[in-house]
Structure formats: C-alpha cells, structure tokens
Amino acid sequence: MPASPRRRLAPPAPNLFLGLTPREARLENARVAVIPAPFDQTTSYLPGTRFGPQAILEASRQVEFYDEELDREPFEIGVATLEAIEVDPADIEAGMRRLEQTVESVAERGIVPLTLGGEHSLTLSPVAALQRRFPGLSVLQLDAHLDFRDAYQGTKLSHACVMRRIRDLGIPTVSVGIRSVSKEEADYVHEEKPPVYLAREIRAKGLPVDDIVNDLGNPVYVTVDLDAFDPSIVPGVGTPEPGGLLWDESLRLLRAVCERRQVVGMDIVELCPIPGQIVSDFFAAKLANKMIGYLGLSPEAPAKKRATRRAR
Ligand SMILES: [Mn+2]
C-alpha cells in the first residue's frame, strides 16, 4: 500500500467529491448527490462553517476509492456533486428555500441527497423536502447538542433550534452523543420524551446500536453534526465539547442504520476548517465516503448503471 493515495494523472475537477471526473459523477447515473451548502449565519462561538463544504470536497480527493471494510469502491453506486447552494448571509431563508428545492428535485429522481455544511440550521430544508415525499420520515441526529431550543439569539432558525423545528413538523427524532443541554431543552425532553443517548452513558456502557436503530422509524434521515465527535479527533468545529463519540463506534451505528432502514437523506454539518490543519476536513470527507458505502448496502435501491472501477 502506498503511504498516501496515488494522484490522478488527469487534473481533477476541483469541485467534485472524491475528485471524480465529470463523466464519473454524472447525475444520470447517480444514486447519491453531494450538495455543498455553505451556510454560516448563526454559528454561536466560532464562525467559519461557510468554508466547510469546499474543505470537505478538497480533502475528499485524498480519500482512497477502495474501502477495506466493504471490499468495494463506494463511488461505484454513482456519486454526483451539485453546484454549491448560493447563500446570502443577509437572507438565510432564501438560501434555505434554494436548498429545499434542490433536495426536492434530487429526491424526485430517486437520488439520495448528501448535504455538506455549513451550519446545522440548514438541516431543516432537506428534512422538510423529504418529509413531503416520505411521510413516515424520522431523523437520526449525531450531535453534542440537542438543538431543541425554541429560539436562540433572537432567531428560530438558529443551529441551536434546528431539531426543535424538525420536531415541530411532527417528525420523530433520535439524538446520539449529547453532552451539552440547556435547562429549557432538559424540560422539553422531560415533557416530550424523545429518545436521547447521552455521551456520558455511551462512554460508560458503549454505544447501544440496536436500541438506537429500534427507536428509529422508517425511512430515516441522518444528520451528523461533527461536534458529536470528540474534539480530540475532530477539532475543526464551531462549538467543540469534550467527551464525544469515536470513529469506529459511530461507523457501526451508521452501518446498522443503512442496513436496517431506508436512508433517504444525509448531511454532515458544522465543519469549521482550521487553517493548516486538515484532520477534521479529512475526517468529514472520509465519513461522507463511508456513509455512501453503507448506503450501497441498503437493499432498497440497487445501483444504477455502475461507474467504472479504477485505481486512484
Ligand atoms: Mn452541535
């Protein structure tokens, strides 16, 4: 095995996930559409999530095509990358509408949207679009925070409120990795009783994968706030919290969800790249490729015309 992935011979297209060629990343053949969504409006602590999507796309060019766990090249199921959503910081709602429309047209084609953020508030848009198509939708949230506040810093569209907005749509949620909760959110949990898996208990007893999957309805939308992970492995987030999820256990969960539920949409949000420090960017890119690989295990939608197998 080479120490680092071999570089492609042709100059890679700068904005396509994994550095695939436009031919390999054709939307007509895709089962997954990567949607860069550089939202960065309400991040409370450290801004910079607007740079997240592009950092993930750049880091993804260093991700090995072949996945040793799955013994396949995940991109073979067909992975397109769409133009980044246009986001005006002065009008976040317009950006959210654009994202919602994009997800809607992607889902109409039977393609799974994988949105790259960007701050977590964006998740409301794909979830709302997918709920219209999949009325029984439920949401799995990996996150340090519940995001159950009714409003935060004067807005109901804050990243600190996104899961509350989703629950307001009548969508059941399951939260995993939680370790930062406001009093208001604790009261809400006591009242509404959504399943919440605290990081402290996960660290003490292990991640209860079966319980979490059983709490989910079908189909499922998966939202991964990168601050769910321990900041020792993902420091590049706006609001790092100690005591988070680890890589392998999280993959076990994501794989189980893809194997036992129909996953109809996913996002990876809140990457706040640290200049000169690519560990978080690469983590997010590899996670995206893993999730695409696990999607390929799902029996619901077999691969369309396969992209050509080739070495990196
Ligand atoms: Mn969070």
Q: Please give the distance, rounded to the nearest whole angstrom, from the Cα atom of residue 140 to the centre of ligand 1.
A: 13
Q: What are the distances in angstroms from CA 236 to CA 65, 99, 146, 198, 270?
A: 24, 24, 19, 22, 9
Residue list, CB under 5 A from ion ligand 1: 143-145, 225, 227
Q: Please give the distance, rounded to the nearest whole angstrom, from the Cα atom of residue 122 to the centre of ligand 1.
A: 13
Q: Is the previous residue joined to 243 through a cis bond, with omega within 30 degrees of 0?
A: no
Question: pLDDT confidence of 311, banded at 50, 70, 90?
Answer: low
Reading the block at residue 15, the tokens are 């904005």
Average pLDDT, the chain: 91
Interatomic CA distance for residues 134 and 190, integer angstroms: 28
Q: Please give the average per-residue pLDDT across 35-64, as a whole number.
A: 88
Q: Please give the distance, rounded to the nearest whole angstrom, from the Cα atom of residue 197 to the centre of ligand 1.
A: 14
Q: Please give the distance, rounded to the nearest whole angstrom, from the Cα atom of residue 189 to the centre of ligand 1.
A: 17
How deeply is 195 buried, as exposed, middle or buried, from its count of CB atoms within 10 A (0-12, 13-18, 19+)? middle
Q: In this structure, are residues 254 and 290 in contact, taking their beta carbons and an 8 Å threshold?
A: yes
Give the pLDDT of residue 4: 47
Q: Please give the distance, rounded to the nearest whole angstrom, from the Cα atom of residue 255 to the centre of ligand 1.
A: 21
In angstroms and rounded to an integer, the radius of gyration of the C-alpha atoms of the chain is: 18
Residue ranges of domains in the chain: 22-137+224-295
Q: Please give the distance, rounded to the nearest whole angstrom, from the Cα atom of residue 225 to the centre of ligand 1.
A: 5
Output DSSP code: residue 135: T
Give the pLDDT of residue 172: 98
Q: Please give the distance, rounded to the nearest whole angstrom, from the Cα atom of residue 141 to the centre of ligand 1.
A: 10
Q: Please give the average per-residue pLDDT across 20-47, as a whole number.
A: 86
Q: Please give the distance, rounded to the nearest whole angstrom, from the Cα atom of residue 76 to the centre of ligand 1.
A: 31
Q: Please give the average per-residue pLDDT across 125-146, as a whole number.
A: 97
Give the pLDDT of residue 153: 87
Q: Please give the distance, rounded to the nearest whole angstrom, from the Cα atom of residue 294 to the centre of ligand 1.
A: 23
Taking the model in full, what pTM does it have? 0.92
Interatomic CA distance for residues 152 and 243, integer angstroms: 24
Interatomic CA distance for residues 238 and 229, integer angstroms: 13
Q: Please give the distance, rounded to the nearest whole angstrom, from the Cα atom of residue 5 to the centre of ligand 1.
A: 31
Q: Where are the beta strands (DSSP E) in 38-161?
A: 79-81, 112-117, 138-142
Question: pLDDT confidence of 132, banded at 50, 70, 90?
Answer: very high
pLDDT, tens digit (0-9, with 9 covering 90-100), for 193-244: 999 999 999 999 999 999 999 999 999 999 999 999 999 999 999 999 999 9
The superfamily in CATH containing domain 22-137+224-295 is Ureohydrolase domain (3.40.800.10)
Q: Please give the distance, rounded to the nearest whole angstrom, from the Cα atom of residue 228 to the centre of ligand 1.
A: 6
Percent of the residues in the chain that have a pLDDT greater than 70, as a whole number: 89
